[in-house]
Amino acid sequence: PIFYSPHQASAIQLRLTLSHWVRKIYSGMRSNFDYTRDIVLGAERVLANTQEEIQLIGDAFGVPSHRFDYLKNGIHPIFRAPFDSLDKDHHLPTQNYFLTTGQLSNPRKNTLQLLLAFREIGSDHPLLLIGDFNSSTYSQKCLAIIHGCDHIFHLSKMNSHSHLYLLSLRHAQCYIQASLFETPGLSALEASAMGTPVITTPYGGTRDYFEGRAIFLKGLDSSHIIRAIREFDEGRLALHDPSELD
């Protein structure tokens, strides 16, 4: 993605205005929004992954609509291949699990709220996390929950074309991403292409890809995540033919 933010376009414009006046006093000070504006306004074409991204960049930075190209994210053909070899003879630490992957130490991934939800919902809902943590306070809080729950499992980051990664996607009962936003989340696309149901954040343009194929969170705290899991348990997500994902 080029750019996405949970802030409204009007809030970004306000930040840009404040930054303009601050630079009159401190000439070297520039915000990330200043750099983003200069990049998108100076670009011949802006390639965006979602319609929300196009709307936000256009409204916040004044990029005219004719300068955009809507270029959907794609996945490697390996995730559409026959899966006969992905049998149950594997080294995954649990079965019938929910799966999440990615930069688990990044607060944008909302890993802490996800872990709080699975700690509360209990041992009949195993969670497998694939990805790395760092030494931050946020990561340490996450790891403390993992170490205190027998039904939450963690594997380090792995190659996305590895046999174990493919197995983890294929045998998950549901892929869940509770991020603050995604555009739209590559691992979720890969899971969906393999026929695995998805629970996802509604923010960042995920509806462009998963409308009718996923349960969308109504909020991003642990209580809303639990509600989405219960919705999945009740069978409210109709399974789809992976070949329909385009």
pLDDT of residue 154 exceeding 80, the answer is yes
pLDDT at 140: 98
3-state secondary structure 167-213: HHHHHCCEEEECCCCCCCCHHHHHHHHCCCCEEECCCCCCHHHHCCC
Average pLDDT over residues 171-186: 94
**What percent of the chain has pLDDT above 70?**
91
Worst-scoring range by mean pLDDT, 7-11, 24-28, 169-173, 203-207?
Answer: 24-28
Query: Residue 112 corresponds to which tokens in the numbers above?
Result: 């802490």
Query: Residue 155 corresponds to which tokens in the numbers above?
Result: 């594997």
- Give the count of beta carbons closer than 10 Å to the beta carbon of residue 131: 19
CB 33 within 8 A of CB 7: no
Comparing 85 with 183, the larger pLDDT belongs to 183
pLDDT band at 24; cut points 50, 70, 90: confident
Say what the alpha-carbon torsion angle 185, 90, 86, 133 is, to the nearest 10 degrees: 10
Dump pLDDT digits (tens) for 185-211.
999 999 999 999 999 999 999 999 998
Dump pLDDT digits (tens) for 46-68.
999 999 999 999 999 999 999 99
